[in-house]
Amino acid sequence: MKTHKDLYLQERQSDIVRLVSENERVSVSELSHRYGVSEVTIRSDLQVLANQGLLVRTHGGAVPNNQRVTILSLTARLQLQEQEKRRIGREAAKGINSGDAIFLDTSSTTLAIAKNLKKHRYLTIITNSLAVAQEMLDSPGSEVVMIGGRLRRDTASLVGIEGIEMLRDYHIQKGFFGIHGITFEAGLTDVSVDEAEVKRPLVKMCRQVIAVFDSTKWGKIGLSTFAKLHEIDQIISDDAPVEIAEQIRSLGIDLKLV
C-alpha cells in the first residue's frame, strides 16, 4: 500500500489540493515532511496548482481558492447543462452502429450517450462507469464489459489501471471521453488523477477518439491531462467561440456543434 512518501507527482499534487480544501491552510514545511520531498519541490507543486486555479499561494504555504475547481459528484453533474448534454448524447449516438465496440467513460455526457443506445444490437460497451452499466441493464442487445478497479463513490466508477490489460485483444472502434476542460496547451484534462489514469491508455486503444462536452469546458484546465489535441479525431459540443472553432478545425479535428 502506498504511503504519502510513495506518491507520484500528479498524485501528490492532487493530495495537496485535497488537504488545502479540508484544512483551509497548509504550510510548505508541513507538506515537505508529509511527502518526504524538499521545500523547493513543494513550492514548485504549489505554483503549478496556483497557475491552474486550484489554490492560492501565500507566504510559506497555500490556502483554498474560493473559485477553485472541485470534483462534483455524478448526481451534481447530471443537473448541469442538461439540455446541452442531451443534444450531444443524441448526436454522438448517431455515429454508433450496431456491432460496434465502444468505450464510454464516467462523465455525465457519456451517460447521455448511453441513454440513446437502447435499440442497438450486438453492441459492446466498455466502461468503468457503474451508471452506464446500470443504464444498459434493460438493453439485451448490448454487452457491457466493466473495467475492474477501486470504487469511487462520488463518480460511481471503478478506477485503477489493473483492469486495462484485459482489453488488449479488443478492437475498440470509438471512444467517447468527457472532460473537465480543454486548452490548446494542455489538451483534454480531468480534475481526477484516478480518472485520467484510466482514460490515458484507453485513448491509445481506440481507433477513433471523440471528446464530448458542453461549451462551458472551453478554456478550462483540470489537474491531469489524459489526451493531447493531436490524439483527438472528433469533438461534439453544443457551441464554441468562432476563433477557437477555426483553430480546432485547422488541426484536422472534426468539430460538430449541436
**Average pLDDT score over the chain:** 90
**Do the Cβ atoms of 144 and 127 come closer than 8 Å?**
yes
Over range 75-92, report the average pLDDT.
87
Q: Where in the chain is the domain with CATH 3.40.50.1360?
A: 74-257
What grid cell was written down for 124? Answer: 459492446
CA pair distance 42, 46, nearest whole angstrom: 6
Name the DSSP class of 6: G
Q: What are phi and psi of 206, to 5 degrees?
A: -90, 135
Mean pLDDT check: name the lowest of 20-29, 71-80, 138-147.
71-80
Q: Where in the chain is the domain with CATH 1.10.10.10?
A: 4-64
Q: Which residues, other chains included, contact 93 with Cβ-Cβ below 8 Å and sequence gap of 6+? A: 113, 116, 117
User: Which amino acid does the sequence have at 187?
Assistant: G
Query: Residue 198 belongs to what H/E stretch?
Result: helix 193-205
- Helix, strand or coil, per DSSP, at residue 145: strand
- pLDDT at residue 68, as a whole number: 46
Q: Domain 74-257 is of which CATH architecture?
A: 3-Layer(aba) Sandwich (3.40)
Q: Is the pTM of this model over 0.85?
A: no
- pLDDT at residue 4, as a whole number: 60
Higher per-residue confidence, 6 vs 192: 192
Q: How many CB atoms neighbour CB 200 within 10 A?
A: 18
4-64 maps to CATH 3.30.70.870 = no
What grid cell was written down for 154? Answer: 462520488
